[in-house]
Amino acid sequence: MAEGNGEVSIDVKSDIKDDPDSIVDRTPDYPKLIVYGLDKRVAGKLDEIYKTGKLVHADLDARALDALKEFPVDGALNVLTQFLESNLEHVSNKSAYLCGVMKTYRLKSRGGNSTGVSVGGTAPNSTSTTKGPDEDRIKAILDRTGYSLDVTTGQRKYGGPPPNWEGPPPGNGCEVFCGKIPKDMFEDELIVLFEKSGKIWDLRLMMDPMTGTNRGYAFITYTTKDEAQQATRDLNDYEIRKGKKIGVTVSYNNHRIFVGNIPKNRDRDDLFEQFTKHAPGLTEVIIYSSPDDKKKNRGFCFLEYESHKAASLAKRRLGTGRIKVWGCDIIVDWADPQEEPDSETMSKVKVLYVRNLTQDISEEKLKEAFETFGKVDRVKKIKDYAFIHFEDRDNAVQAMEDLNGKDMGGSCIEVSLAKPPSDKKKKEEMLRARERRMMQMMQVRGGGYSPQHPSMLGGPPPRGASTGQRGAGNTLRAMGRGDYDYDYDYYGYGDYRGGYTDPYYDDYYRYEEYYYDYAPPPPPARGRARQPQSDLEEGLLDRRTSMFDMNYGTQAGRGRGVVARGRAGGPPARGVSRGGRGGAASGGRGGARPL
């Protein structure tokens, strides 16, 4: 009988393995999983999780169930095992969390390793030895503050809103970006550090589900702008661990994207109607006309959306390269923000930025107009804008208040305080980051940038201009969408683009040109006269020249050496693209070579 009982026992185990339906101890939700179409083994594993109390059937939405149904059976069983072994204490949306585990598992499988997927640093079966957060410290912080902690596969979110908060969430300028965070650091250490600068609204630590470590950056929202500014002063370049310094800067929620290479003969209504077709949520189209021809835009526009999510969707759709606008291959990227100088810095500025100037307004005429308010040291005009340097700040402020919005030479001018020049090193890091992004876009499309619409073409291309991949780097640098000096790549994160609220995004050229950090224009090149070119090509080349003048102090000329201001000549910096013979701002003959 003993042997018979043993045989029966073995048969029962075999039946259990091969036919989960033979087990009568199922929850009432098990039949629902079978009816939904899940494999019996997957349904059985999920039902086992139900019985632990870590998950109930109502927690799973159709998206998660559909994903499980389409997932390979062995993979689904592994995913559910990892889900069961994960710490779900602070997971509020378990359905989304499970979908995240499946996505991570699939990515890991494609990489040749389908085991040990760590999600949020909580999966104990991970092959990584990554240490998770100190749960005792987390509990102590939550008990002390009354905040919540919500964990997903992509982030760990603390707070938002704080307990007893009344009113709307904090607006733009209240959030800071923190980069260069040690990968094995968690919110239990960051909260204690950042709350010293002010009351935290929320803290979001971005996680890499492939490794269970953080991605090296976080976003911290304060209740006021002053607290955010204080955090940048207290913690930027702060040594958070021995030899490890973090970077902290104000972040902005981005609702705008830049679109370049649009026909110049289209107005705002045409563009609004066109771009509304491709993505929802468009609220505004911002274009700028030439002071000398109000009927034409400058070949680019900004699209403003109702939310960052809507703007992100539009950027993805418009940036595929498959969408043409009136036959043009458009260029799409985030509209980058300017870094806002603090009030203390701006209170010392004695330089005015004047825009919307027509061609017949010379530096002499500008000096004559502004000098009625006080002594003007110098005037510098660049294209349709200028900088007016006053000797006394009060005179500059008075001139700004009196002349802003007034007519000058048939155009309504805008006058504001110019922002002080920013750090050159950080600016160069930002430029290289932009160049990488645009090069990636070009490579996906399989070619260089070239205008196609007839309204964009006013003549043959400039001699030596590159239309392919070689030498495209400088052209791409010429297509910036504004300037955010603390580019996120500078802190080790290149995906987040930030947003911007600055009202002076007025030009297709380099927007930070109204930072009064400029150099004398380069002397004209010797040799063959310059060929005619379209307005867009003119803008690209002139803007590129202006950019290099500002940042490097280069000089152009046929066969001339290049000497930066205050430096001896030398080889070009790493990463600077070289063009062919005659290429503007390139390493070729007749072009400037930036240092």
- The pLDDT tens digits for 386-412 are 999 999 999 999 999 999 989 988 888
Mean pLDDT of 441-455: 49
Q: Is the pLDDT of residue 33 over 50?
A: yes
Q: Which residue has the tokens 């990968």?
A: 183
| Residue partners of 111: CB distance under 8 A and separation at least 6 | none
Q: What's phi and psi for 12, nearest 5 deg?
A: -65, -45
Q: At what angle do helices 424-445 and 535-552 cross, to 10 degrees?
A: 150
Q: Which amino acid is at 167?
A: G
In terms of Cβ atoms closer than 10 Å to its own Cβ (0-12, 13-18, 19+), residue 439 is middle
- Residue 337 binned pLDDT confidence (cut-offs 50, 70, 90): low
- Which tens digits make up the pLDDT trace of 121-162? 444 344 444 567 888 898 999 999 999 998 887 889 999 888
Q: At what angle do helices 187-194 and 225-235 cross, to 10 degrees?
A: 110
Angstrom distance (rounded) from CA 262 to CA 259:
7
Mean pLDDT of 170-180: 88
Q: Which residue has the tokens 């490579």?
A: 443
Q: What is the model's pLDDT at position 566?
A: 39
Q: Is the pLDDT of residue 168 over 60?
A: yes
Radius of gyration of the chain from its Cα atoms, rounded to whole angstroms: 30
- Specify the DSSP element, H or E, that contains 402: helix 393-403
Q: What is the model's pLDDT at position 231?
A: 95
Mean pLDDT of 584-593: 39
Domains of the chain, first to last:
2-110 (no CATH), 135-251 (3.30.70.330), 343-417 (3.30.70.330)
- Which tens digits make up the pLDDT trace of 19-30? 545 555 888 888
Q: Collapse the DSSP code of 52 into the 3-class scheme (helix H, G, I; strand E, B; otherwise coil) and give the result.
A: helix
Angstrom distance (rounded) from CA 346 to CA 338:
14
Q: What is the Cα 126 distance to its own chain's centre?
A: 31
- Residue 338 binned pLDDT confidence (cut-offs 50, 70, 90): low
Mean pLDDT of 362-376: 92
Q: Collapse the DSSP code of 233 into the 3-class scheme (helix H, G, I; strand E, B; otherwise coil) and give the result.
A: helix
Mean pLDDT of 313-338: 84
Mean pLDDT of 440-468: 46
DSSP string over 307-340: SHHHHHHHHHHHTTS--EETTEE-EEEE-PPPP-
Q: What's phi and psi for 303, nearest 5 deg?
A: -105, 125
Short-list 485, 509, 335, 493, CA closest to 424: 485
Angstrom distance (rounded) from CA 322 to CA 301:
19
Highest mean pLDDT (candidates 138-142, 508-512, 516-520): 138-142
- Residue 419 binned pLDDT confidence (cut-offs 50, 70, 90): confident
DSSP string over 166-178: -SSPP-TTSEEEE
- Residue 292 binned pLDDT confidence (cut-offs 50, 70, 90): low
Two structure tokens written together for 352: 């005015």
